Chain A
Amino acid sequence: MVGYIIQRFIAMLLTLVAVSIVAFAIIQLPPGDYLTSYIASLSATGDQVDPRVIENLRSQYGLGEPFYVQYWKWVTGIVQGNFGHSFEWKRPVWELIWGRLGYSILLEGLAVVVMWLVALPIGIYAAVRKYSLGDYLATIGGFIGLAVPNFFFALILMYLAFTWFGTTLGGLFSPEFENARWSLPRIWDFLSHAWAPILVLATGGTAELIRILRANLLDELKKPYVTTARAKGLPEWKVVLKYPVRLALNPLISTIGWLLPALVSGSVIVSVVMNLPTAGPMLLRSLTTQDMYLAGAIILLLSVLTVVGTLISDILLAWIDPRIRYGGK
């Protein structure tokens, strides 16, 4: 188990290095160097540009030096918690994004929980009552859930809420709770806002999970040990829940690994549509204004989020499945 975790951990570190290179490449992509455009924007607003400040920034980011030198300066800065400076907001990047990133993680985490809570009973029901009305409904719902782009779903939800109830969905808090401290009323306010984005985010993944769970469980239910259990007179719920469901869960946990990238992707676009204070809208804004250190840091952190999530799902899988734990490599 420990060996397996160490092995996965090393793989994760290598992935993180690759992720950081990609993120840095994106920072470097736009033509021209950001300092030049920063100076241009400063001069445009009539600010005096102190040559010493410029020189300072130039050496800090290693501008004009080769790619690997700049990358190294950037990456060592990040390891020390310095994500660079946002030229648009004129503040350190980390200060700008940590709060937003927290809401991203919170929303995505809640979406994963909702996915599981919804998919588990429906998937089991659909497999046990194969070809029943409920099974067909689950299948049709699953197909539609996969085909509706989540931003479109969000738009429809907002439209319906507006025309039927006259409320605008969007944001995560009412204005009076925006900057308040966490308290019970604030949590309630959060939940009454967050249900919509969580629902939107969870739909696609839920559909996918139901499909996988149903297929896995159907395979398991055909096996002789299930017949044996039934012949021994075990109550039906025990026959299903005791072993087949547990076995069918294994592939389900490993799917988190590839559900997460989709979830993080989806949350970016849904956050833009529903105007949520998460990392997504800030990423979009920073990209359109070419505030590249901010954009690069967000891309990096979102990717790190998925990589770490994948590691967690790998470890969970090892914990649940002894075949992996005992190194059936």
Chain B
Amino acid sequence: MAVDTMTPVQAKARAIVPAKRESQFGLMWRRFRQHRLALVSLWVVAAFYLVAVLAEFLAPTDPSAYSARYTYAPPQGIQLIATEPDGSWSFQLHVNGYKTEIDPVALRRTFVIDPEERIPVQFFVPSKPYLLAGFIPMSVKLMGVTEPRAPFYVLGADRLGRDLLSRLIHGTRISLSIGLAGVTLSLFFGIIIGGFAGFYGGWFDTAVMRVVEFIRSMPTIPLWLGLAAAMPKDWSALQTYFAITLILSLIGWTELARVVRGRFLSLRTEDFVTAAQLDGASDWRIITRHMVPSFMSHIIAAATLAIPGMILAETALSFLGLGLQAPIVSWGTLLQDAQNIRTLATAPWLLTPGICVVVIILSMNFFGDGLRDAADPHGR
């Protein structure tokens, strides 16, 4: 495999420099790096997952902390430069305060950013003690305002005056982890079922493939909705979370099973498998020692490409109100607030979770494509 991908220059270098062997991972990484878009996407995906892990530290406030004073407060943004009335300026991280105005037509209180009022923003502000990622005790947040009761809504507030940024950060954790959990579960089913079908073939293979075809010919959302609607309403947040994961992977396993089966089928007649069989290796050993390592990278690429679908499905289900339920914050439950056109017209910033969905799906797709190309020894 190493010889295949070596260019003449590398071959020459090898003759002079003492032979340095590269692992399969090293080779893959080298090929992957040539794919610019995939590399950038990898960083984007990594950043998103970092946000998911560090949610409590990064979120300025508690996602469920509400304030009736700041209903639908518009995004403040973060200002870098403070200008004084006399024209001089200096660097100072700050947000602007709000002025309330009464809308003469709708007779409604609306917030307007007040450029006069400056609230300084500081890093590593002390906060109430919390557990980072559930077990590291901490009592500082990355960013915040020190003035008590000062508003800090970088991305705006929702109907109950909750900070959208904080909710978005906590939603990232749920949405991304449900994607991972769903794919892991799908992968588990997919490898077992697809592996059996591909390795042993015969009637089991035919039956599995018919089932896969059948499931894939069904419209997924009605099916998911039907399954999700059967969840008892009194289930706890954790139970719903796992139930949704299970429901998503009930359909998700089909694609992965197909990939695994295809790989098994094509490898089953390879010389090295025959050789292992002639050596008297057991099926288990052939599968785990010889076959799985040779296509693991493909499976990982396929699994990566399956994650966006999972995230999308969760978002869609929660958006329709049959997925995760209110106290859990996910991108889907956040978008649920933006269903109404009246609400959207007053608070378009409620659509930001949707932008996150688009960005993560785009980068996951590019990342997965790059991974698939890099994992293919015969590519290019």
Contact = CB atoms under 8 A, between A and B. Distances in A.
Interface of A: 15, 18-19, 22-23, 26, 29-31, 143-144, 146-149, 151-152, 155-156, 158-159, 162-163, 168, 170, 257-258, 260-262, 264-266, 268-269, 272-273, 283-284, 287-288, 290, 295-296, 298-299, 302-303, 305-307, 310
B275 interface: no
B138 interface: no
Contacts of A146: 365
B345 A159 contact: yes
A261 B219 contact: yes
B339 interface: yes
A19 B227 CA distance: 14
22 contacts: A22-B218, A29-B229, A29-B230, A144-B358, A149-B354, A151-B335, A155-B335, A155-B354, A156-B354, A158-B344, A163-B345, A168-B341, A261-B219, A266-B221, A268-B221, A268-B225, A269-B221, A273-B339, A283-B222, A295-B229, A299-B226, A306-B219
A274 B192 CA distance: 41
Contacts of B328: none
Interface of B is mostly: helix
A257 B220 CA distance: 14
Interface string B211-238: 0001011111111011101101000000
A269 B341 CA distance: 16
A27 B110 CA distance: 47
Nearest to B219: A264
B312 interface: yes
A42 B237 CA distance: 32
Contact of A283 (B225, B230, B351): B225
B218 A306 contact: yes
A15 B217 contact: yes
A304 to B, nearest CB: 10
Contact of B229 (A22, A261, A273, A290): A290
A265 B221 contact: yes
Contacts of A305: 219
A152 B226 contact: no
B300 interface: no
Nearest to B354: A152
Which 8 A-B residue pairs are closest in the complex by CB-CB distance?
A29-B230, A265-B221, A287-B229, A26-B226, A264-B219, A152-B354, A147-B361, A147-B362
A31 B232 contact: yes
Interface stretch (B14-22, B44-52, B55-63, B318-326): B318-326
Interface string B275-315: 00000000000000000000000000000000010001001
Given A152-B357, A269-B319, A284-B225, A159 B362 contact: no
B49 to A, nearest CB: 18
A261 B218 contact: yes
B338 interface: yes
Contacts of B244: none
